[in-house]
Structure 1
């Protein structure tokens, strides 16, 4: 696999490690909004793979796959950083939904239904569901979550070592543990959806077939689940801060 200069052949490395690039891309895209394109991540990852092949030395003490994985993931994260994930107008709408979910669930002491959230927002149910449809690009982490000048408490930095990088935070162990706990508290239907989407890697159409609902309905439920998760992560962060 190595040439006379001790370098890995690019043709061989592309053939052998293309599945690794795809696997890493799928892991990242599962945590991103639907606007993030898997093919773009894979393309960036392939560039990272070739960079790894050019820089790797067999005697440097790390297995090539381990070394390449770091380079591939880094290239994918750079690709994500170069794009704006969600327009600011939709981020404001996302915060509005989160605030409504938080207030209704605080009052009720349980998970709020769509009807109850819509009533709190003083809008018809179909209008609220349309809002959720628009928020299909919603996500668990925004750069604003790490901005201490923002209006909201920058709660997610409590989980992360690198406060400047929410993308790295997605892979942080403490945040992952908090997410598992928050997902476990979701209503059963939304819990199933998140499991199929983030763990099984299914797309919305496939999830709709499993849940026997339309793709647009899956989109709405996903947006609402994300709003619940962000609200509960905030609550858990505050509770942890008070405990310390």
Structure 2
């Protein structure tokens, strides 16, 4: 099993001048305290003494212990990371390890084990943490996805068997992803293959074929749809939930959803629990919930939509989106 290369970022113990000088900041104090308490470092890779399933299960539990950071903390850590603060780089990366798992899962069954894909993705995550510029006004998780995917695609190109992606094509795919995200923000819609072709200097046919390597995404801002019998968790967990690693991730997601619900008003949280069938409840229709709470079906729909919007915009929104990315 491959291990994450010990880059300068991951080898350093934070003894640089920048790290010492930042020791008095909230970010550095938090990082040091949590690191000593937990005595784990998922960035170091998996336990090679365990079988893959057990190692993965343990890794996912370890990752779940790291809390997300606020936008303010993200900016503070990003500024420190740019100055070479290794503690800040590590804390910024650890707070986003869940995201790497979700990205790596999209590239399973292509000749490289999931654990190896995660480790390669972590290399990209650390690289992103070192290069992240918080002044650009982009969330770290949005910036990091390109580095994570490029690292994973490079691993598939070198090690994969069923699908081999030349390294130059892996770079092309990363460029397509970057330009696609930029155009989406500019145009407020999905760009066409022709539009992507103009900004990437690649043919529309090549772009279409390369994008088939990237499985479809489910996002928090996707429409709810007409069906009222879907559970919230099912929107973020793959249909092949019987796989051991997906079962574990499903449990982590359930915990994340429940934690996120505690940030809502009591009534809003109750509406979502009833509507999506959480905490042992069965799924209820909008009309059923309205009858229970003594309000109209339309009012329940408004409460549901407001609650989902608050989840997306709140601190736990990035956690949920990391499973959906």
Q: TM-score range by the shorter chain?
A: 0.3 to 0.5
TM-score if structure 1 supplies the norm length?
0.35
TM-score if structure 2 supplies the norm length?
0.28
More helix by share: 1
Higher relative contact order (CA 8 A, sep 6+): 1
